[in-house]
Amino acid sequence: MTRTPSDRTTVAAGTSAPVLEARNLVKTYGNVVGLDGVSLELYPGEVLAVIGDNGAGKTTLIKCLTGAEVPDEGAILLDGQRVHFRRPQDAREAGIETVYQSLAVAPSLDVASNLYLGRERRKRGFLGGVLRMLDTRGMREQAKHELQELGISTLQDVTVPVENLSGGQRQAVAVARAAAFGSKVVVLDEPTAALGVRESNQVLELIKRLRDGGVPVILISHNMPQVFDVADRIHIQRLGKRAATITPRSHSMTDAVAIMTGATTVS
Ligand SMILES: Nc1ncnc2c1ncn2[C@@H]1O[C@H](COP(=O)(O)OP(=O)(O)OP(=O)(O)O)[C@@H](O)[C@H]1O
Ligand SMILES: [Mg+2]
């Protein structure tokens, strides 16, 4: 049965506890306040969009949630347990995969190697165990399979170095990697900013598939139609604070922009 958006809202806003939660995060850079006491809740089965003007603190917020930054104050909870991520690897090991705004792919490696970066598969037995030889063929076959599963069709040759791909295709590799390995949460910071229409749509479909497969997604985007298409709830950042959390049913795009820019305040 296909769930309707309103069913999902019931799940999200209702009885279940957040998968990932931030409480009153503060992050300063010298005199610059990146986050000024921000809370966020990501519920099971939802896509939570994070929107806000440039410099509103969106990237800082997700960096704190995913170990790329350590907040000065506040708490982060995963499945209700307090966590202290010191580096992105800590969050990855806990099941949170992130595609950062500044792309973390290795340009000289091929697509398959990028998919398995930091998680390389070794050959079986002596060759892998003792000589540490990589199972390149196995990784390529698996990478091809993953990309097909994810519906990323423009990227069938996984032996091409990533530096030869277009910006959008690189982004697709990073998104595919997050989708393939994010077991609890996937976080995407502007995943469609560099993409063409077709690839953007593929990423949006991928986000919906992740959610429907049980992995909640945090999506940072400036693209209002995309946000209103895919998000169950929308966290609005303004000047380092959470201005409001709305839904595509409770508010229009115009409302969202008004809250984002401070033209409307929400109590
Ligand atoms: N490493 C840093 N050093 C100093 N200031 C920083 C650093 N990172 C972020 N900031 C500042 O913190 C504030 C929030 O930045 P952040 O990158 O989180 O904004 P954003 O909402 O992601 O913006 P954008 O939409 O442009 O990506 C900005 O004023 C920014 O200049
Ligand atoms: Mg940003």
Per residue in 17-48, pLDDT (tens digit) is 999 999 999 999 999 999 999 999 999 999 99
Mutation to probe ligand 1, out of 27, 28, 29 (largest number of atoms < 8 A from CB): 29
Nearest CA to ligand 1 atom 24: 54
Residues surrounding ion ligand 2 at CB below 5 Å: 58-59, 101
Q: pTM score, two decimals? A: 0.83
Rounded CA separation 226/188 (Å): 13
For the stretch 119-124, contacts whose Cβ atoms lie closer than 8 Å and that sit 24 or more positions apart, written own/partner, are 119/181
CA–centroid distance, residue 54 to ligand 1 (Å): 8
Question: Cβ(155)–Cβ(64) under 8 Å?
Answer: no
CA–centroid distance, residue 62 to ligand 1 (Å): 11
- Tell me if 54 CB under 6 Å of ligand 1: yes
Give 162's DSSP letter. G
- Tell me if 235 CB under 6 Å of ligand 1: no
Ligand 1 atom nearest to 237, measured from its CA: 21
Ligand 1 atom nearest to 240, measured from its CA: 14
Estimate to the nearest angstrom the gap between the alpha carbon of 238 and the chain centroid.
20
Give 116's DSSP letter. T
- Tell me if 69 CB under 6 Å of ligand 1: no
Nearest CA to ligand 1 atom 26: 54
Count, residues in the chain: 267
Rounded CA separation 106/155 (Å): 16
Stretch(es) of the chain classified as CATH 3.40.50.300: 1-95+186-267
Helix (H) or strand (E) holding 220: strand 217-220
CA–centroid distance, residue 7 to ligand 2 (Å): 31
Judged by average pLDDT, the poorest of 141-155, 183-197, 243-257 is 141-155
Q: Which amino acid is at 40?
A: L
* More confident position, 265 or 184: 184
Question: Cβ(219)–Cβ(188) under 8 Å?
Answer: yes
Question: Cβ(34)–Cβ(28) under 8 Å?
Answer: yes
CA–centroid distance, residue 4 to ligand 2 (Å): 31
Given pLDDT bands bounded at 50, 70 and 90, which one contains residue 104? low
* More confident position, 122 or 185: 185
Ligand 1 atom nearest to 101, measured from its CA: 27
The number of the ligand nearest the C-alpha atom of 237 reads 1
Q: Supply the mean pLDDT for the chain.
A: 84
Which tokens sit at 236?
């609005």
Give the per-residue pLDDT at 100. 80
Nearest CA to ligand 1 atom 11: 34
- The stretch 75-85 carries a mean pLDDT of 97
- Tell me if 42 CB under 6 Å of ligand 1: no
Given pLDDT bands bounded at 50, 70 and 90, which one contains residue 10? very low
In the chain, where does DSSP find H-type helix?
Answer: 5-13, 58-65, 88-93, 111-115, 125-129, 136-149, 167-181, 197-212, 224-230, 253-261
The number of the ligand nearest the C-alpha atom of 60 reads 1
Torsion angle (degrees, nearest 10) of CA 256, 243, 237, 263: 50
Ligand 1 atom nearest to 60, measured from its CA: 18
Which tokens sit at 164?
């030869």
CATH number, domain 1-95+186-267: 3.40.50.300
Q: CA of 88: how far to CAs of 36, 48, 170, 207, 259, in Å?
A: 22, 20, 20, 21, 31
Rounded CA separation 104/91 (Å): 15
- The stretch 169-193 carries a mean pLDDT of 81
